[in-house]
A and B are shown apart, each in its own frame.
Chain A
Amino acid sequence: MIISNKPVQYLLVTLLALSSSINFASTPVDSVSVKHETVESTEASHTEAVGHGESVGHEIEKEFNASELINSHIGDSHDFHIADWDGHPISFSLPVILWTNNGLEIFSSAKFHHDNSGEHVVDINGQKLVRYKEIIFYADKFETMTADQKNTGAFAFDARPLDFSITKNVFSMLMSAIILFFLFFAVARSYKKNDKAPTGLAGFLEPLVTYVRDEIAVPNIGTKKAGKYMPYLLTIFFFIWINNLIGLIPFFPFSSNLTGNIYFTFVMAFITFIVTTLSGNKSYWGHIFNTPGVPVWLAPIMIPVEIIGMLTKPFALMIRLFANITAGHIIILSLVSLIFIFKSIAVGPVAGAFVLFMSVLELLVAALQAYVFTLLSALFIGQAVEEHDHH
């Protein structure tokens, strides 16, 4: 296959994947201990602020917590955080869209006043809502929950309204979609005026399009059927790539970790799964339900194995993209955090150099992961539409 021709790139990816697993292995331990601290400290500061007035609350300098910072940066949120100024967060408030017990509610996330601890109660048309770690709960139900239930609140569907908010990641995704659409619309229009060699934007993007066609689609799917899947492959390639790149730009309105979000990669992998399953031809299903060359009495083992095989392929796609991009973000954020952990300016240049190195590597990974995702999607589709005349 094509993958075997890129040992260096794969080595890099493996390295990154390893480093991400190290991070994942260490973070949960930290964050568990941290969570209680933060809850306590915020509660303490809140009571103090109530007691002594607003000004005192800001004077309490919070201990720098790297895992909290990293978690908030690689996660999703209702506000688009831009910067902190004099202890106040400055953020771009995004709309909150909730399907509550009383129907649809739309309001600005500014109403939560940056509260993520479940303290600030918001009254929306008579419904009391609180936000705890970016999850919006009904205030009355929230009070009865244990700390563990609160932390797994994302799946406590009876204690919270359904949340269809335009979060930071959704905002970023919309932005990327609009940018890409206008980019390629402009390219498409330029061909109407110019039927000679492509110039300008088209000259830059066309080689990428032909690369996807000639190096990804055609070798894996075959010349005859590749054309049908080209729009899908091109869309995922550019969509994932631009979102990987947007995640690397460290300021508003970029910096979201969309492709490092497991829900996003889940949807992308699921769509590839649907496309693969729907394009499966007779021989594809034949291989699953009646694998050629295998005795019939093995079918009770073979069929579940084959069905698991169908599911693990998109599952690997989902995890690979999520882990690679998240790992990159975690490494860069950890390096930046070093400066604050050591509280020394001397660490700055060293950390800066490493951040620069990692950012350049991440640029490669951004393109590589988009390529790998597209390549494997093409490979799976190719397996589904392949004609087997031999056996």
Chain B
Amino acid sequence: MQLTSPESLIFWTTIIFIVFFFLLAKFAWKPILGAVKSREESINEALASAEAARLEMQNLTADNERILKEARAERDAMLKEAREMKEQMIAESKNEAQEQGQKLIAQAKLAIENEKNAAMAELKSQVSTLSLSIAEKLLKEELSNKESQTKLVEKLLGDVKLN
């Protein structure tokens, strides 16, 4: 091989390579690698945020569904409660009405009894006064002459058996 003096190429290669390396490192590799890295980071970030958004969306729909389910359950519960309450109310009012009726009937019975007793008492007193007045009238009639008065005394005396 026809080579020139070794020092020529060794010298220039060293100089050119070192200068070239530092120039490229400063003006090319640093910005290029920086840009590539920052872009990669931004892509990763974008992907991560997309993923996060997707998860959030999923959570949101899950939440919505859950809320809807809860609402439905609540509605059902409310309806059920209302129905129960209605039934209870009906049953209660029925009971109450029955009780009230019973009570009224009892009261009425009591009143009737009382009235009856009062009426009986009055009737008794009326009957007694009536019979007294009748008896009075009868006595007055019977004892209007002397003969009948003596007869009665005799009869009464006849009843009394003297020993």
Contacts and interface: CB of A to CB of B under 8 A. Distances in A.
Query: Do A and B interact with each other, yes or no?
Result: yes
Contacts of B31: 188-189, 191-192
B23 interface: yes
Interface string A134-170: 1110000000000000000011000010111111011
B160 interface: no
A206 interface: yes
B5 A162 contact: yes
Mostly helix, strand, loop or mixed at chain B's interface?
helix
A67 B10 CA distance: 25
Nearest to B19: A177
Contacts of B6: 154-155, 263
Nearest to B8: A163
Given A76-B2, A77-B2, A209-B36, A185 B11 contact: no
B3 A261 contact: yes
Given A71-B1, A77-B4, A170 B9 contact: yes
Interface string A241-268: 0000000000000000000011110111
A134 B16 contact: no
Mostly helix, strand, loop or mixed at chain A's interface?
helix
Contact of B8 (A71, A72, A167, A180): A167
Interface string B11-53: 1111011011101110111111101101100100000000000
A185 B21 contact: no
A121 interface: no
B141 interface: no
A231 B13 CA distance: 18
A112 to B, nearest CB: 12
24 contacts: A71-B1, A74-B1, A76-B9, A135-B5, A136-B5, A163-B4, A163-B7, A169-B9, A170-B8, A170-B13, A180-B24, A181-B24, A181-B27, A181-B28, A188-B31, A213-B33, A213-B36, A230-B33, A231-B25, A231-B30, A263-B6, A263-B13, A264-B9, A267-B14
